[in-house]
Amino acid sequence: SAAEKGGYASFMLKEIAEQPKAVADTLLGRIDAEGSLTLDEVRIPAAVLREATKVVIVACGTAFHAGLIAKYAIEHWTRIPCEVELASEFRYRDPILDQRTLVVAISQSGETMDTLMALRHAREQGARVLAVCNTNGSTIPRESDAVLYTHAGPEVAVASTKAFLTQLVACYLLALYLGQVRGTQWGDEIRAVIRDLARIAEDVERVLETMEPVRELARSLAGHDTVLFLGRHVGYPVALEGALKLKELAYMHAEGFAAGELKHGPIALVEKDLPVVVVVPSPRGRSVLHGKMVSNIQEIRARGARTIVIAEEGDEAVVPYADHLVRVPATPTLLQPLVSTVPLQVFACELATARGNEVDQPRNLAKSVTVE
């Protein structure tokens, strides 16, 4: 009903707007402004976490994209090798697992059959399983050794938005916690990032306040057939998620690519007027990647594509090559997906609406898929 949607036209718009609160709630009681972190719920003994030799993340759909981003954070802050795998592929390929493997199962609903079967397989092989889940008491957390709940609140729209942002938050917390427990060389950085996380909900709010031009742009593209998304580093899974949202909601052909792969194939798709969304890494920190991304934007623009550039505030190098520029607040490199995903959600939702689609209940999709 209209009342349940709190005045929004759809649950999806409501849930997009709730993201600052969802992020803040997922951090609440776990971090403080001084840079310390406590995750009492992770009831896997510190000794076990210290001895883990590998992290394997299993998930489906949007949760899989959260897992892809988590890999960058986990490997950077903990130096533990981390694999990410689609839950539906995992158990069928005889994966290498033992008691020193930490499996992380990410699921909004906690009921996705593919993810559940993957975690059962992992436990049979002796691995420890930690669930990252948004639904209290659901099957996946019940069958795991421990659970780190996301506090997004109920998500009704089929296409995941606020649950995704909170999955990212939970994965960052897990990565930082593992780093803290294992005492890596990144102690100072870990404390600094925790302080940055304490402010990140405000950054998400600022992005939401600047979305009107993105909505206008989306409406103007309603007649297109294809949109490409490019990203690098953590921006690559963000590009995949932007493309998934557009497929789910707008029923358009949308593909996400790692920008470095452009020259190995996808550039053949680039033609006049093709909208290409580019998620630009921060010019600080990973400056080499930033320069390469600017070259990619030049290359696609030289072929007549319409460049839609998502870039950090203060990044002036992209300005000459952006047909449309979407600014996001500067964050530490690894945290950028928390702000750069939001314009892509708004873009897909508005484009779908402009095409006359029902955004909360996209055709052929279910919120929770309880069959394999």
Residue 84 beta carbon to ligand G6P: minimum distance, rounded to whole angstroms:
14
Q: Which of 54, 247, 292, 367 is catalytic?
A: 367
| Residue of 65, 241, 269, 102 whose CA lies nearest to 182 | 102
Give per-residue burial for 49-86: e unless 16+ CB within 10 Å, then b: beebebbbbbbbbbbbbbbbbbbbbbebbbebebbbbe
Residue 114 beta carbon to ligand G6P: minimum distance, rounded to whole angstroms:
8
C-beta closer to ligand G6P: residue 302 or 365: 365
Work out the number of other CB atoms within 10 angstroms of the CB of residue 1.
Answer: 4
Residue 131 beta carbon to ligand G6P: minimum distance, rounded to whole angstroms:
10
d(CA 181, CA 351): 44
C-beta closer to ligand G6P: residue 238 or 311: 238
Binding interface with ligand G6P (CB under 6 A): 60-63, 107-109, 112, 115, 158-160, 365, 367-369
For residue 303, give Cα distances in angstroms to 192, 239, 269, 290, 311. Answer: 42, 20, 10, 20, 21
C-beta closer to ligand G6P: residue 1 or 364: 364
Lookup result for tokens 């742009």: 217
d(CA 286, CA 333): 7
d(CA 308, CA 169): 26
Residue 99 beta carbon to ligand G6P: minimum distance, rounded to whole angstroms:
26
C-beta closer to ligand G6P: residue 131 or 326: 131
Pairing of strands 226-231, 253-258: parallel
Pairing of strands 275-279, 226-231: parallel
C-beta closer to ligand G6P: residue 141 or 179: 141
**Alpha-carbon 2 to chain mean position:** 29
Locate the DSSP E strands across 152-305.
226-231, 253-258, 275-279
Sorted by sequence, the CB contacts under 8 Å of residue 316 that are 6+ apart come out as none
Tell me which residue has its CB nearest to ligand G6P. Answer: 61
Sorted by sequence, the CB contacts under 8 Å of residue 162 that are 6+ apart come out as 15, 16, 18, 19, 22, 152, 153, 155
Residue 68 beta carbon to ligand G6P: minimum distance, rounded to whole angstroms:
13
d(CA 266, CA 257): 8
Q: Is 333 helix (H, G, I), strand (E, B) or coil?
A: helix
Q: Is 129 helix (H, G, I), strand (E, B) or coil?
A: strand
C-beta closer to ligand G6P: residue 156 or 369: 369
Residue 119 beta carbon to ligand G6P: minimum distance, rounded to whole angstroms:
11
Residue 249 beta carbon to ligand G6P: minimum distance, rounded to whole angstroms:
11
d(CA 253, CA 251): 7
C-beta closer to ligand G6P: residue 89 or 202: 89
Active site residue 21: no
As annotated, the active-site residues are 367
